[in-house]
Amino acid sequence: MTKPPLNTHTDPSKPANDFVWSQTLETETANIETHPFGPVLPPDATVMMMGTFPPTADKWAMSFHYPNFYNDMWRIYGRVFFDDADYFRVGDEKRFDSERIRAFMFERGIASCPTVVQAIRETGNASDKNLTVVTTVDLDSILLQVPKVEALFTTGGKATEVLLNLLNAPPPKSRYPKTNQSMDYPYQWQDIDKSSSSGKVNDLTLYRLPSTSRAYPLGLDKKVEAYKAFFKKVGKL
């Protein structure tokens, strides 16, 4: 799979939706889409959230990661960190405040980066089950910008699968972590120049958390419990 060159969002004072993946990627066709949101990489981040692909633009309530108002990601963050599901909501409007979310992520040292840069929606929606991955993230370039990251966490099976297939020796699917489980993630530099100039990759752990989609059959309270336990474990609470 083609890997994109370095191009990320690391400045909390600028909007995240000004990001454009490098134009050296394969030309986008009617079927191949490029991820609309770039990585958010606080330089002191110690954990990184890694998803797959957002819904189609008609489902967005904002131009930021997890943009669908009916996805509970930012409600869960609100409850975990502020005991308020509407903490990131804009008043009574059906949207979240992307600037507030990004400022929070920089303050708390939580990065966000998609595992999939280009994909084909086989059924025209955001279902991971029907998503064909065309281009994966260049994890070398990402990790160089967040050198303190020690934990990666995914919110579904597809992102977990993509990350594990970036390893030199991908494990069989029978050894993938199930929801609320974790495993060592022995990533090695793919670019020999980076390996010689940057030293050893941090010892990484991969955690798999519940999907925040309402289609995932788990109540909001249980999801909040899982995310709270994770953030306590990695020292964010």
User: Regarding predicted confidence, which is higher, 16 or 208?
Assistant: 208
Cα–Cα distance measured from residue 24 to residue 220, given in angstroms and rounded to the nearest whole number: 41
For the stretch 86-108, pLDDT in tens is 999 999 999 999 999 999 999 99
Q: What's the pTM value of the predicted model, to 2 decimals? A: 0.87
- Distance (Å, rounded) from C-alpha 166 to C-alpha 160? 10
How large is the average pLDDT for residues 125-145? 86
* Residues 6 or more apart in contact with residue 222 via CB below 8 angstroms: 210
Write out pLDDT tens, residues 170-184: 999 999 999 999 999
Res. 146: pLDDT tops 60: yes
pLDDT at 129: 74
Amino acid identity of residue 45, one-letter, is A
User: Residue 10: what pLDDT?
Assistant: 61
Q: Give the per-residue pLDDT at 26.
A: 52
Interacting residues of 127 by C-beta distance below 8 A, sequence separation 6+: none
| Strand arrangement, sheet containing 116-121 | 32-34, 116-121, 131-136
**pLDDT value for 28:** 52
Task: Say how many C-beta atoms besides its own lie within 10 A of residue 16's C-beta.
Answer: 22
Q: Is the pLDDT of residue 7 over 50?
A: no
* Per-residue model confidence as pLDDT tens digits over 34-80: 999 999 999 999 999 999 999 999 999 999 999 999 999 999 999 99
Strand-by-strand arrangement of the 151-154 sheet = 110-112, 47-50, 151-154, 204-208, 181-185
pLDDT surpassing 80 at residue 11: no
Per-residue confidence band for 1, with pLDDT thresholds at 50, 70 and 90: very low
Q: Which of 235, 211, 34, 10 is nearest to 121 (CA)?
A: 34
Please report which confidence band the pLDDT of residue 15 belongs to, taking 50, 70 and 90 as the band edges. Answer: very low
> Rounded mean pLDDT of the chain?
87
Task: Give me the mean pLDDT over the 117-141 stretch.
Answer: 84
